[in-house]
């Protein structure tokens, strides 16, 4: 049984969003995306893969399919496959987001 303490895994870097691997398999990718104020995850899409964002700490602006919304700690966002999505830390504090992706098994 694998148990993870997310708060102890969070890492930040000054030059760009930090990515921390939490767990992965051929059927699942789970990680932390950690943003200093002003850092960005550029808009992108995943063909054949759904994605979840869970805000662990802080708040930021999330975009999905052209719609933007500010989410904060404790909120979850679902992104269906193929929709463009991205994140901007628009706050003055750090932002840590758990991401879960179902890899494209049909490529």
**Residue 96 belongs to a domain with what CATH number?**
2.60.120.10
The pLDDT-based confidence of 105 (bands split at 50, 70, 90) is low
Average pLDDT, the chain: 94
In a domain, 42, yes or no: yes
In a domain, 107, yes or no: no
pLDDT in tens, 72-84: 999 999 999 999 9
Q: Looking at residues 96-102, what average pLDDT do you find?
A: 96
d(CA 53, CA 24): 16
d(CA 102, CA 43): 18
The residue segments making up the domain with residue 73 are 30-101
In a domain, 71, yes or no: yes
pLDDT in tens, 10-46: 999 999 999 999 999 988 999 999 999 999 999 999 8
First to last CA, the chain: 30
- Domain total of the chain: 1
List, as one string, the DSSP characters of 40-57.
EEEEE--TT--EEEEEEE
Opening angle at CA 100, ends 31 and 90, nearest 5: 70
In a domain, 11, yes or no: no
């Amino acid at each position: 049984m694998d148990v993870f303490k997310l708060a102890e895994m969070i890492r930040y870097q000054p030059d760009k969003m930090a990515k921390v691997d939490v767990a992965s398999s051929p059927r699942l990718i789970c990680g932390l995306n950690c943003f200093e104020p002003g850092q960005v995850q550029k808009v992108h899409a995943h063909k054949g893969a759904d994605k979840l964002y869970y805000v662990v700490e802080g708040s930021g602006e999330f975009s999905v399919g052209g719609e933007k919304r500010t989410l904060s700690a404790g909120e979850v966002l679902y992104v269906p496959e193929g929709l463009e999505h991205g994140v901007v830390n628009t706050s003055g504090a750090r932002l840590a987001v758990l991401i879960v992706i179902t890899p494209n098994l049909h490529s």
